Amino acid sequence: MNPLASTKSAGRLLMALPAIASILLLAACSTGSSSPAPNGEGFNNSNLKGTYVFSISGTDFHPNTNTGSFFAFVGTIKADGNGNITGGTVDINDANLGGTGVFLAQPVLKTAYSVSSDGRGTAHLPTAEGNFGLDFVLTSSTHGMITRFDQFGSGSGTLDLQGSASQSSLGSLAFSLAGSDSTGNPLGTVGAFALNSSTGAITSGTQDFNDNGVSTVSGSTGLQLTGGSLVLASSGTSGTAVLTTSSIFGSLAFDVWVIDSTHLKLIETDSNTSGYALSGDAFTQQTSFTRGPLVYTLAGVDSGLVNPVAAGGYATTDANGGLSNLLEDYNDDGTTNTLQNLSGSCLTFVAGRCQLNLPTFSNGTAADFQFAAYPSSGGVQLLEIDGHGLMQGTAYAQTATSFAASTGYGLNLSGVNVSSCFSDAWAEVDDIAQFQAGTPDTSSTGPVNMNGLVDENDLACELNFNSDLGGVYIPDPSPDGRGSISVSTPSTLITGLTLEYYVVDGSTMLFVEGDQQQVAIGTFQAQSSTASAATAQSHMAIVHPAFRAQAALRSR
């Protein structure tokens, strides 16, 4: 992984527009004669029609104190296909908003949205607790990726057409939740549980925690769920959940938003009493790994518990989680490396929980790494539990090793970069982009084979909309699904991206960033503006752990 050498001039404007005006800013940026034209992929306002579940998490910024906090939004918006959001409901968990920090069932007020021909769109989320800018890219009429796009916060998430589920259809679920603890330090948890088909009571289950890198203390890993429930409302589109363990974390309460019977979104609702703030996904549990190749990404903080780290790669697995041919690309605090021919195995594999041992893995430090791993229909949910840092993410069964040319792709990146607005401190960055892929190249000096536009939110530093994105992607010589991307984005904070990508299924790719000034993970996914609304939603959910929200504004 070769870091980009280019950097941007230190002189930047700190945008100070109200969040409610963000949609006006975007409209102004997109209509000037010098504004680049989007690719024509056939999208328009009619591609956003129906009730959608959206989730966004990231860092909120308090301009008076120059501090950040973790935030999460999960809820629904109703779009009429004609550029109008007619309603919806959202749960907000954000300590920077004051009070309890938890605001449930907030009505989404009527507002407008706009979808351009390349599938990128803008809107804002007007609620009684604030008006938040939104920037998204659709991959179809049923799925998209979304970011918060205003100067008071930045985060990433997903947008999915909502279905419904019956209580009896849920069965056993595996989950992955990320956020912060009561002091603002990063907190992650994964687990699985079985439900009583009629009452929704949890009948058995296991849960693992990592609180700011501490996961080896008694009462943090392999915990038995001693109680709790997940009960849907009569509509089958929402519900509540409680997860109870005999640990310092006690009982945690959540609101549940249904995408379908195999995919739920959760947001913690008890932060005013527990002090924790978590959100994430739950999927149908599986009790074994899918044999064959898999690809993965992870993100979090390294063993120093301050510096950001991201990793990605591929491996071959058997049904019991035995890994061979493991490759890891990692970026620890801007230092990159690639490790090859690694291996791993499950020390124990009980009730769908694997304690995965990776003795030659790295997060910038050599150690005996261990992860709690829970296979599910949404991939293997992973959480570091070894005391050497906090990395969280997902591994997916790989079913293809290339992606199609002459096709449009939507992209979401989430991580941190060195922000001049905070005296060269790490601060959150989130990108939404769209590009058209051309014929694969074999050299970085070959012709440009990807062109598009990128929108970037550098936390409280600058909002960039409609920045040119052009560059080269190069698949590995061996057909392993891995490749490199080097693109120029002149108007973004570091003026370019260096990525290593990993093909999941031919239409979905994961990536990890290898730049010195930016550490991030993300995904890009094939677009189809004509896909039927009946098309199954994406079951990808890139985990974006809180990159130590309060330290994101601290000098590096």
| Nearest by Cα to 194 from 221, 213, 219, 175 | 175
Span 442-459, pLDDT tens digits = 887 889 999 999 999 998
Tell me which of 105 and 14 has the higher pLDDT.
105
Q: What is residue 162's DSSP assignment?
A: -
| Nearest by Cα to 127 from 76, 174, 201 | 76
Span 487-535, pLDDT tens digits = 999 999 999 999 999 999 999 999 999 999 999 999 999 999 997 644 5
- Distance (Å, whole) CA 11 – CA 85: 37
User: Structural domains in the chain?
Assistant: 41-161 (2.40.128), 167-284 (2.40.128.120)
| Nearest by Cα to 116 from 62, 47, 35 | 47
Give pLDDT, residue 50: 98
- Distance (Å, whole) CA 344 – CA 320: 11
| Nearest by Cα to 316 from 290, 284, 281 | 290
First-to-last C-alpha distance (Å) of the chain: 22
Alpha helix segments (H runs only) across 123-250: none
DSSP-derived 3-state class of residue 28: helix
Q: How distant is the alpha carbon of residue 18 from its chain centre?
A: 26
Mean pLDDT of 354-371: 94
- Kindly tell me if the per-residue pLDDT of 42 is higher than 80: yes
Span 150-186, pLDDT tens digits = 999 999 999 999 999 999 999 999 999 999 998 889 9
Q: List the beta strands (DSSP E) in 385-449.
A: 390-397, 407-419, 425-437
- Distance (Å, whole) CA 160 – CA 535: 11
- Kindly tell me if the per-residue pLDDT of 553 is higher than 70: no
Report in angstroms the alpha-carbon separations of 310 from 264, 297, 476: 25, 7, 20
Please state, for a pLDDT cut of 90, what percent of the chain lies above it. Answer: 77
Place of tokens 């012709």: 447
Q: For the chain, give the mean pLDDT.
A: 89
Exposed / middle / buried, residue 235 (Cβ in 10 Å: 0-12, 13-18, 19+): exposed
- Distance (Å, whole) CA 57 – CA 160: 15
CB contact at 8 A, 436 and 147: no
